[in-house]
Amino acid sequence: MLKGARLLMTGMTGQVGASLARLLSPHNEISGLARFSKPGSREAVEALGVRPIACDYTSGDFTGVPDDFDYVLHVAADTWPETMDIGVTQNAEGAGLLFNHFNKAKAWIYVSTTGVYWDHPDPWYQYKETDRCGGSTRISTRFPYGTTKYCGEAVARTFSRLHNVPLTIPRLNWSYGSGGHGGLPVMVMSKIAAGQAIDRHPDWQFVGGPLHDTDMADHIEGFFAGATVGGNIVNWAGDDAIAMEDLVPWVAATMGLDHRFNVTHEATAYPRATDNTKRVAMVGECKVKWKDGFRRVLAERFPDLKMNMVD
């Protein structure tokens, strides 16, 4: 795990950033950049052991913001941009303005998404970092997240070259854990606990690779070490791919509850299994297998339920 570094982070008010900040802050000096416009957000970040710095980096105004950090971990993103223009401003232009200010860093991480890949007809196809990109058409028919994150990758790679700063671009899959809302798997757990139906697409399985936040924190050091000028792109997913259609019955059985599917064409159903060969070479295999991680999160989030041991 990364230790003894002066780290600048964005996105601590979200699930991924909050999880990473909580795990990294005991070992590093972390400053967190955000607007802090939501009541209580500054206090929440301070509770993570992070020094808050108020700034809207998409404005380009960094007045009073120090720039002498060892590393930059850029997690913040607009995951539901209402328009392509808003998404490009938030996820691409903002990244460039941020990179331009923090160009003295030893290395950068720009967290992207496996939603950048062009859909493959096989939902179990394992995407490689060299595969065709263009943004997902099934992650959302309304919000152009994947496409604008791919624009962000291009901007980050450009500024990496302009400033000669090594960069890693991990394309994140299904993250989950103790921080924030817990990620997609925890949102599914909460729906099952509430007796709500889980949307299921009639034609496509929803496939992903769950990645526990403790593994994510362990990977950060290796991602900084493996950064290259121009950008080193790597899939960031758990070792085992699973379909939501199989995950839901397992979670429900473990919780001792029933489950229901709502079959609809409006369901999220982008297939995103990944080839993790490059990630394993950079940072090793994951320590937390998905079933063990899910049991851990279930115990944390639903302490009043008696859990069943399900294989």
In a domain, residue 110? The reply is: yes
Distance, CA of 241 to CA of 279 (rounded, Å): 15
For 200-228, write each residue's pLDDT tens digit.
989 888 999 999 999 999 999 999 999 99
In a domain, residue 247? The reply is: no
Burial class (CB in 10 A: 0-12, 13-18, 19+), 11: buried
In a domain, residue 296? The reply is: no
Rg (C-alpha) for the chain, rounded Å, is 19
In a domain, residue 57? The reply is: yes
Instruction: Give the pLDDT of residue 265.
Output: 84
In a domain, residue 1? The reply is: no
In a domain, residue 309? The reply is: no
Predicted TM-score of the model (pTM): 0.94
In a domain, residue 292? The reply is: no
Distance, CA of 248 to CA of 189 (rounded, Å): 8
Distance, CA of 114 to CA of 131 (rounded, Å): 11
Cα-based distances in Å from 180 to 19, 133, 183, 287, 301: 7, 29, 8, 22, 11
Write the CATH number for 278.
3.40.50.720
Per-residue tens of pLDDT for the chain, all 311 residues: 999 999 999 998 888 999 999 999 999 999 999 999 889 999 999 999 999 999 999 999 999 999 999 999 999 998 888 888 998 999 999 999 999 999 999 999 999 999 899 888 898 999 999 999 986 655 555 668 888 999 999 999 999 999 999 999 999 999 999 777 888 899 999 999 999 999 998 988 899 999 999 999 999 999 999 999 999 999 999 999 999 999 999 999 999 999 999 999 888 767 689 999 999 999 999 999 999 999 999 999 999 988 888 88
**For the chain, what is the HEC assignment?**
CCCCCEEEEECCCCHHHHHHHHHHCCCCEEEEEECCCCCCHHHHHHHCCCEEEECCHHHCCCCCCCCCCCEEEECCCCCCCCCHHHHHHHHHHHHHHHHHHCCCCCEEEECEEHHHECCCCCCCCEECCCCCECCCCCCCCCCCHHHHHHHHHHHHHHHHHHHCCCEEEEEECEEECCCCCCCHHHHHHHHHHCCCCEEECCCCCCEECEEEHHHHHHHHHHHHHCCECCCEEEEECCCCCEEHHHHHHHHHHHHCCCCCEEECCCCCCCCCEECCHHHHHHHCCCCCCHHHHHHHHHHHHCCCCCCCCCC
Paired tokens of 243: 């379909």
Four-point Cα dihedral 11, 225, 174, 50, nearest 10: -30
Q: Which domain holds residue 112?
A: 6-182+210-240+273-286
In a domain, residue 124? The reply is: yes
Total count of domains within the chain = 1
Amino acid letter for position 60: G
Instruction: Give the pLDDT of residue 181.
Output: 80
